[in-house]
């Protein structure tokens, strides 16, 4: 998997201050996409163990609320394969950090995804240019949903009840 960017102090892609990873590769090709260069699976740099270590280090400060995964498209099969061990590691080493994942697919179409058990908040749905709304928090068009997959307790730990 390639990635095309890491933001170590991001406030635009989820609640609180976050570390955001932008993966490369997307087959959705939404008209009006603000990052069409990320459609190419070869765009950017290879996601390596050093990349993982860099992100984990950036996540460690207590004032960082969590990790956001965006694209390109994280739910492309090639990207899920690389992201799964990474998200398992983040969850294991930093259980108090939340994980947001942005996808152009709908939750209803992702039931087979191995990533979902590690995601706290899913922002789903394709970008639809006719429904573009810059006033929305954490999404680009009105059809996109912010879905809480896992509730977090006061101590930050996930609770699936």
Block means of pLDDT (10 residues each) for the chain, length 161 residues?
97 97 95 89 97 98 98 96 97 97 96 94 94 92 94 54 41
Q: Of all helices (H) and strands (E), which one includes residue 78?
A: helix 77-93
Q: What are phi and psi of 102, to 5 degrees?
A: -105, 130
Tokens of 26: 């997307």
Distances (CA, A) of 31 to 48, 52, 127: 31, 31, 8
What pLDDT, on a 0 to 100 scale, did the predictor assign at position 161? Answer: 41
For the record, the structure tokens of 119 come out as: 């995601």
Q: What distance in Å separates the CA atoms of residue 36 and residue 25, rounded to the nearest whole number?
A: 10
SS3 106: coil
- Neighbouring C-alpha atoms within 13 Å toward the C-beta of 16: 15
Tell whether omega for the bond before 105 is within 30 degrees of 0, i.e. cis: no
- What does 50-69 look like in DSSP terms, one character per residue? HHHHHHHHHH-STTEEEEEE
Distance CA 160, CA 96 (A): 14
pLDDT reported for residue 136: 93
Q: Count of H helices and E strands in the chain?
A: 2, 9
Structure tokens at 53: 């270590």
């Amino acid at each position: 998997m390639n990635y095309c960017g890491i933001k170590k102090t991001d406030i635009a892609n989820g609640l609180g201050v976050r570390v955001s990873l932008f993966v490369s590769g997307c087959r959705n090709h939404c008209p009006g996409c603000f990052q069409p260069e990320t459609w190419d699976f070869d765009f950017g740099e290879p996601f390596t163990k050093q990349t993982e270590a860099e992100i984990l280090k950036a996540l460690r400060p207590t004032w960082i609320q969590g990790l956001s995964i965006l694209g390109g498209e994280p739910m492309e099969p090639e990207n899920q394969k690389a992201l799964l061990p990474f998200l398992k590691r983040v969850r294991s080493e930093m259980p108090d950090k939340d994980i947001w994942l942005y996808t152009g697919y709908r939750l209803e179409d992702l039931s087979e995804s191995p990533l979902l058990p590690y995601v706290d908040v899913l922002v789903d749905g394709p970008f639809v240019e006719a429904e573009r709304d810059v006033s929305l928090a954490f999404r680009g068009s009105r059809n996109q949903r912010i879905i809480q997959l896992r509730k977090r307790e006061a101590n930050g730990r996930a609770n699936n009840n």
